[in-house]
Structure 1
Amino acid sequence: MEVVSSPVPNGRYVIAKRHKDVIYTSGMTPRRSGVLVYTGAVKPGCPVEDYRDAAVMATANAVKAALQLLEAGERICEVLVLTVFVAAEPEFTDHPRIADFASTYLYERFGANGVGARAAVGVNSLPGNATIEIQLSVVVDHVPKFHPA
């Protein structure tokens, strides 16, 4: 599931910031064309699979934000840090399983280099009542040019 359009800040911040060869994204929620799609706290007893699409959409938005700062001939080569914030009711304790959906998306997109350090954090609420918020730090490198023999 990819985002339809580029993420847009909902306040006074940028969606991503680059320092040398590292890009840091702002927290990205599960929005499609600027509209928050998944809201409400995760409830204990609900299958974690019910939150897969929210995690994937928020992660895809974070990747899209990072991609906007690439220059010609560059690519994201490695995920350094993935931070997953999960709005959850106090009794819910399976935050890492929801974060696994984000990790799996990054692994499928970037291979083994898509797996970085990670935090899965439960919170009382997120902006706009979002279910999940994703923040990424990624490394950029230059795509090797092909030189025919």
Structure 2
Amino acid sequence: MGNYRLATRDENRVYTSGITPKINGQLVKTGKLDNTTDLTGYVSVAQQAIKNAIQVINQEIFDEELIDKIVMMTVYINASDDFIFHSKIADFLSEYLVEVFGDGVIGSRAAVGVNSLPGNAPLEISLVASIK
């Protein structure tokens, strides 16, 4: 592992590093998404990444504190040049956050296609969360 932290707290904000969909250190899925990819197979993959990110944030907050809002969510998708459904992957993440935290939890977001990700991960997310 490189010389960095998975999350950094600055006052009432927690910033995560790039978080991938891993369980016990292993990616749940690998590979590049293209326009023939069945995206329904990536709901659970995206949810694993967001669960991991929430866990990392929770390690930076005190027992009496809660995540108030996801101020910014950036989604990096390991995508082919012709992939056009970036926002759909981000929607999976947004829907999960609303289920867990309720309406109004999501601030800004960006979904970006990239040529590769560490370990050939299909996606990586980075969050900025405000804490109350």
| TM-score (normalised: structure 1) | 0.85
% identical aligned pairs: 42
> In 1, distance between residues paired with 2:131 and 2:97?
15
Match 1:116 to one of 101, 107, 112: 107
RCO comparison, higher one (Cα < 8 Å, 6+): 2
SS of residue paired to 1:85: strand
Is 2:84 the counterpart of 1:93?
yes
| TM-score (normalised: structure 2) | 0.96
* Structure 2: gaps (5+ residues): none
Match 1:28 to one of 13, 19, 35: 19
> In 2, distance between residues paired with 1:48 and 1:41?
12
Shift of 1:113: 3.2
> In 1, distance between residues paired with 2:104 and 2:2?
31
SS of residue paired to 2:96: helix
* Structure 1: gaps (5+ residues): 1-9, 142-149
Spell out structure 1 runs of 4+ moving beyond 2 A: none
How many residue pairs were aligned?
Answer: 132
RMSD: 1.0
SS of residue paired to 1:116: strand
Is 2:58 the counterpart of 1:67?
yes
Corresponding residue for residue 137 of structure 1: 128
